[in-house]
Structure 1
Amino acid sequence: MPEVILPGASGRIEGRYSPGKRANAPIALILHPHPKAGGHMNNPVTVTLYQLFQKRGFATLRYNSRGVGKSQGEFDSGIGELADAATALDWLQSNNPAATQTWVAGYQFGAYIGMQLLMRRPETDGFISVSPPSNMYDFSFLAPCPASGLFLHGTADTIVPPVEVERVVNKLRTQKGIVIDYELEEGASHFWQDHIDAVDRRVGLYLDKRLEAEPA
């Protein structure tokens, strides 16, 4: 899990990178929660997502967005953070030019940035969005959503009530050609305390299902 430094628009971007197990390994980019709420790449949910892809042979990158950890710059209300995500995905792709699949996974604010990135990168094959803040940010840009993926949320999330996520999911499910999975974990809060194992289990099962149907 070597530390990597990427050149970003606001200076260096600090990351952790795990190379794939083969030359044409699929790639996965992992995005952390809101920087202004203490979000960083070592958040337990973020690390769990990283390890899930890593264990399945993906070339996997997680990183600190601008102003977090050793990454330079300042919080930019999502605009600069999306640019950082694009830079990180460019780096992943340039280091893995033969990658068979591209995935984006994010938690909370990272899910919001990840879904925006998805819209700009039609080569993306799948996504994982954990606790997307659909009541704090406008997700109407997902029209149409270019890839199938999983939304995972907790029933005890009082910051983003499940009904807010269901509204987005129901809209996306009207589209043809993609499949949106939506799973609710009973008793899990927005922060997944004591429910990290559920993230590992549910996302792992989803990835295995997708990779069995569409080998990477």
Structure 2
Amino acid sequence: MNVHTQKSLIAGPVGNIEIAVDLPDAVREGTGGPRGIALVAHPHPLFGGTMDNKVAQTLARTLVQLNYIVYRSNFRGVGATDGVHDNGTGEADDLLAVLAHMRAQPGYADLPLVLAGFSFGTFVLSHVAKRLRDAGQAVERMVFVGTAASRWSVADVPENTLVIHGETDDTVPIQSVYDWARPQELPVVVIPGAEHFFHRKLHILKRIVVDAWR
């Protein structure tokens, strides 16, 4: 992601999980504390999705700019992460393991948490968030980009979730996102002319997230 990205391996349910951590400038330089911690989940691993996907990196960079300590991780079978693709179930277990690792870091236990995902990552994070809610653990906010509502059973999300979609997405048709969002009364922010991977639209995606935090 950048020269300051720290990559390492942590223990997960079926072996190693490869993670990447990015710190805000103030935290890295020791001149200030973070606003919170954030976890970013990447698109489908069987179709080339990794934690270095451009949309996932854009989400991470934006949250770092907003003063969050940001973690990304590779799903099973991607990069140095052990295991094989598990259709979202094992992937959710792994993200919960990453979250436990994050919370175990000195000073991180009580920091506000943001969950941000792209495509398949939104499906996995929706179920991670449900399990956190069922356990009485708070999530400050969620950011869903290219929500995979046409392909997976995406769980309901909190009312302050930021949902962003591309107008011309033919991987996840926007109508399926409307159908998922409508019963929850969730607004959907549409980027005109954007397809699933937001080519030439990443700057707009970043602006929408930053504006939502103002």
TM over 0.5: yes
1:111-126 to 2 correspondences below 5 Å: 111-122=122-133, 123-126=138-141
Matched, 1:132 2:132: no
Ranges of 4+ aligned residues in structure 1 off by more than 6 Å: none
Matching residue of 1:37: 47
TM-score normalized with structure 2 length? 0.87
Query: Per-residue displacement from partner, 1:45-86 (whole Å, max 9, x unpaired)?
Result: 000000111112111100111110011111111111111111
- For the residues of structure 1 that align with 2:115 and 2:98, how far apart are their CA atoms? 11
Name the structure 2 match of 1:163.
175
Gaps of 5+ in 1: 174-179, 210-216
Matched, 1:77 2:104: no
Q: Which residue of 2 is the match for residue 194 of structure 1?
A: 200
- Which residue does 1:98 correspond to in 2? 110
* Structure 2 residue identity aligned to 1:33: P
Is contact 1:33-1:107 (8 Å) kept? yes
Amino acid in structure 2 at the alignment position of 1:3: K
Which range moves more in the overlay, 40-49 or 113-122? 113-122
CA contact (8 A) 1:119 1:146 kept: no
Question: Partner amino acid for 1:126?
Answer: R
After TM superposition, list the pairs within 5 Å mapping 1:7-26 onto structure 2. Answer: 7-19=11-23, 21=27, 22-23=32-33, 25-26=35-36
Q: CA deviation at 1:23?
A: 4.8
Q: What TM-score do the two structures reach when normalised by structure 1?
A: 0.87
Higher deviation after alignment, 27-36 or 187-196: 187-196
Structure 1 position 98, deviation (Å): 3.3
Aligned to 1:64: 74
In 1, the alpha carbon distance for the partners of 2:62 and 2:167 equals: 23
SS in 2 for 1:68: coil
- 70-79 vs 19-28, greater mean Cα deviation: 19-28
CA distance in 1, matches of 2:34, 2:64: 14
> 1:81 and 1:190, CA in 2 relative to 1: closer, same or farther beyond 3 A?
same
Query: Aligned pair count?
Result: 198
Deviation for aligned residue 1:187? 0.5
Alignment gaps of 5+ in structure 2: none
Find the aligned partners of 1:43 and 1:146 in 2 and give their Cα distance. 25
Per-residue deviation at 1:159?
1.6
Match of 1:176 in 2: none
Task: Give me the whole-angstrom Cα distance separating, in 1, the residues matched to 2:68 and 2:118.
Answer: 19
Identical amino acids, percent of aligned pairs: 26
Counterpart of 2:37 in structure 1 is: 27
Contact 1:126 1:148 in 2 (8 A): yes
Q: Deviations over 1:147-198 (max 9, x none)?
A: 521110011011211111011111111xxxxxx4420000100111111112
Distance 2:19 2:140 in 1: 22
Distance change >3 Å, CA 195–CA 23, structure 1 → 2: closer
Say whether the 8 Å CA contact 1:126–1:147 is kept in structure 2. Answer: no
| RMSD (Å) for aligned C-alpha atoms | 1.5
